[in-house]
């Protein structure tokens, strides 16, 4: 599932960057979402796979803090990118004649930059205290299932949901691999 996630999201990034027809705000945000999904899953899944293989649940304190930092960073960034994508679609639907003026490259870049700056700010301001305190005990198996669903399944399905059903992406990939 991890390989499908990485491969599917890399295909989206490849298609968007290689086809000039896809150099639009919607696909710019989609390729950023794909990058964030790759980073998000790469934050936890390799360590989880290593733990499964070695039957070890050990992680250093520094490793845990680092993993929690990047996990939170990419979760928040994922949410901001999805919000920006929703705004992009709102402008495209409600103001179709002004879409290219409103969603100019400077605004798109600014929205993505703000998304990145806000993942970091919110983490330091609000999340640090939460993750440094001890959590209430929970059923370990239900927590593990919920974690796998959120960290593996959702990012794996995003390429299918957002783009691989999209004819523009399919044509871009066909042109790329047809070269």
Which tokens sit at 15?
Answer: 């298609």
The arithmetic mean of pLDDT across residues 142-168, rounded, is 69
d(CA 39, CA 158): 14
The arithmetic mean of pLDDT across residues 6-24, rounded, is 90
Written as one string, the DSSP assignment of 22-85 is G-SHHHHHHHHHHHHHHHHHHHHHHHHHHHHHHT-----HHHHHHHHHHHHHHHHHHHHHHHHH
pLDDT digits 0-9 by tens, 86-103? 999 999 999 999 998 998
As a whole number, the mean pLDDT across the chain is 80
pLDDT digits 0-9 by tens, 92-138? 999 999 998 998 989 888 888 888 777 656 545 554 554 554 454 44
d(CA 1, CA 4): 5
Which tokens sit at 123?
Answer: 């983490």
The arithmetic mean of pLDDT across residues 67-94, rounded, is 89
d(CA 169, CA 163): 6
Which tokens sit at 47?
Answer: 């360590």
d(CA 164, CA 136): 40
Which tokens sit at 44?
Answer: 């936890």
Q: Is the pLDDT of residue 35 over 90?
A: yes
Residue 69 burial (10 A CB sphere; 0-12, 13-18, 19+): middle
Residue 134: what pLDDT?
44
| pTM (2 d.p.) | 0.76
Residue 50 burial (10 A CB sphere; 0-12, 13-18, 19+): exposed
Residue 41 burial (10 A CB sphere; 0-12, 13-18, 19+): buried
Domains of the chain plus CATH, in order, are 2-178 (1.20.1070.10)
Q: Which residue has the higher pLDDT, 161 or 121?
A: 161
């Amino acid at each position: 599932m991890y390989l499908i996630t990485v491969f599917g999201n890399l295909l989206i990034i490849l298609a968007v960057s290689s086809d000039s027809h896809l150099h639009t705000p919607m696909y710019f945000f989609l390729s950023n979402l794909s990058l964030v999904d790759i980073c998000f899953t790469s934050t936890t899944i390799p360590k989880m796979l290593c733990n499964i293989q070695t039957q070890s649940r050990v992680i250093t304190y520094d490793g845990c803090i680092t993993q929690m930092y990047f996990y939170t960073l990419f979760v928040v960034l994922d949410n901001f990118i999805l919000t920006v994508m929703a705004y992009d679609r709102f402008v495209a639907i409600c103001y179709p004649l002004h879409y290219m003026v409103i969603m100019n490259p400077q605004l798109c870049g600014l929205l993505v930059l703000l998304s990145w700056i806000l993942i970091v700010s919110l983490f330091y301001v609000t999340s640090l205290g939460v993750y440094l305190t001890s959590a209430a005990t929970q059923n370990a198996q239900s927590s593990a299932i919920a974690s796998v669903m959120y960290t593996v399944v959702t990012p794996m399905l995003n390429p299918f949901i957002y783009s691989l059903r999209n004819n523009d992406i399919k044509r871009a990939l066909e042109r790329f691999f047809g070269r």
